[in-house]
Amino acid sequence: MEKKKLQISHFLVFSIIHSIQLGVGVFGFQRIIMESAGNDAWVAVITAALLMNLIIWFMYVLLNRHKKDLVDIHKELFGKWIGGFFSLIWVAYWILIAITVLRTYLEVVQVWVYPTINILIFSLFMLGLTYYCVTGGFRIVAGISFLGIVIPFYIFFTFLFPLEYTNFRNFLPFFNHSISDLAIATKDMILTYIGPSTLLMFYPYIKNPEKSQKWAHLGNFISLTLYLYILIISIGFFSEKQVSQHIWATLSMWKIVELPFVERIEYIGITSWILIILPNLCMSVWASKKGIEKIFNLKSKTAIILILLIVLLSTVLIRGREAVQFINTYIGDFALYIVFLYLPFLAILSFIITKVRGTKGAKS
């Protein structure tokens, strides 16, 4: 475990888990899941969150047993080389998450606010902020995650404006989609919930980490509540066919909001969303940085610069809506295997190996 002065209070896990689940997916998750589940998409939102709750439980089973981060657990179970290979896969995964978050947000900014924005300059700005936060240490990253929830929370009250135009008959009839359709929608919803995987790296930085589990589950529950809240309003506001025509249904709802002091509330919402995107970037970069440090024995700043260069180059090279959609789909599939299949397998394997080694030790 890390020194106490580097650790955070266990209740702050709530803000970290929630902030990294609330990213760019909020802008357009409705269309993706309603393509297969229609007006029953709310089932997919709940199911995906419950599955994520199960994964969080598996994480704590694994982490509470070893009291180490994922890299050290891999090394303990599989040895230096094989364990390092598995850890490197996770590092690549967190880097891909950072690329996906930044590039998807950039696309929203391009389409809705600044069509001629320079991708390189904006990426440098965002990654410069990320570098500043991550080099400050994990406590700074945790603080940014907390502020990323508190400061822009006012945005969610703007979703009350479309209630005047909602028709909740759009929910009828209930359960008119097959289980396979709901399963596909649940799979598509997974990408919005996968952020808590960084817990595998910051666990040693939590004071009394065993007590933090309830806060992690609570963070996931609040994420579920917000996604469900936005989806219910969206289903009532749009018809099922209309949603398919809106890539970013959330932003389309913002267009009807009228306030005395601002004409286009979506501009305020998109720019304020930087405070929500930044914790996503910081946590992904910090987790991958920590992994590279341990695997290759690199200095912290060297690892950060290497990761940020990879993210920058990838962000600049990804062009067009099709490329952005492809990487989102690819990461969703990757997450399905590495988070929802590999982690439970690792937790079970860890239990077996620990038991076997304990039995051999007792006999000797």
pLDDT score of 90: 95
CB 350 within 8 A of CB 65: yes
Summarize pLDDT for 73-109 with one digit per residue, the tens: 999 999 889 999 999 999 999 999 999 999 989 988 8
Say what percent of the chain tops pLDDT 90: 41
Whose CA is closest to 20, among 166, 187, 200? 200
Summarize pLDDT for 275-297 with one digit per residue, the tens: 888 999 999 999 999 999 999 98
CA atoms within 13 A on the CB side of 18: 25
Domains, the chain, ordered by start? 4-363 (1.20.1740.10)
pLDDT score of 256: 77
Estimate the crossing angle of helix 41-66 against helix 343-363, to 10 degrees.
Answer: 20
What pTM was computed for the model?
0.91
Q: Which residue has the tokens 């439970």?
A: 344
Residue 22: is its pLDDT beyond 80? yes
Three-state SS string across 172-226, please? CCCCCCCHHHHHHHHHHHHHHCCHHHHHHHHHHHECCHHHHHHHHHHHHHHHHHH
CA distance 332 to 326: 10
- Higher local confidence (pLDDT), 306 or 115: 306
Banded pLDDT at 1 (limits 50, 70, 90): low
Summarize pLDDT for 160-206 with one digit per residue, the tens: 888 888 888 877 788 888 899 899 888 888 878 887 899 999 999 99
Q: Which residues contact 190 (CB under 8 A, 6 or more apart)?
A: 48, 51, 52, 332, 335, 336, 339, 340
> Quick one: DSSP state of residue 246?
-
Mean pLDDT of the region 308-320: 91
CB 265 within 8 A of CB 259: yes
Summarize pLDDT for 36-68 with one digit per residue, the tens: 888 888 999 999 999 999 999 999 999 999 999
pLDDT score of 342: 92
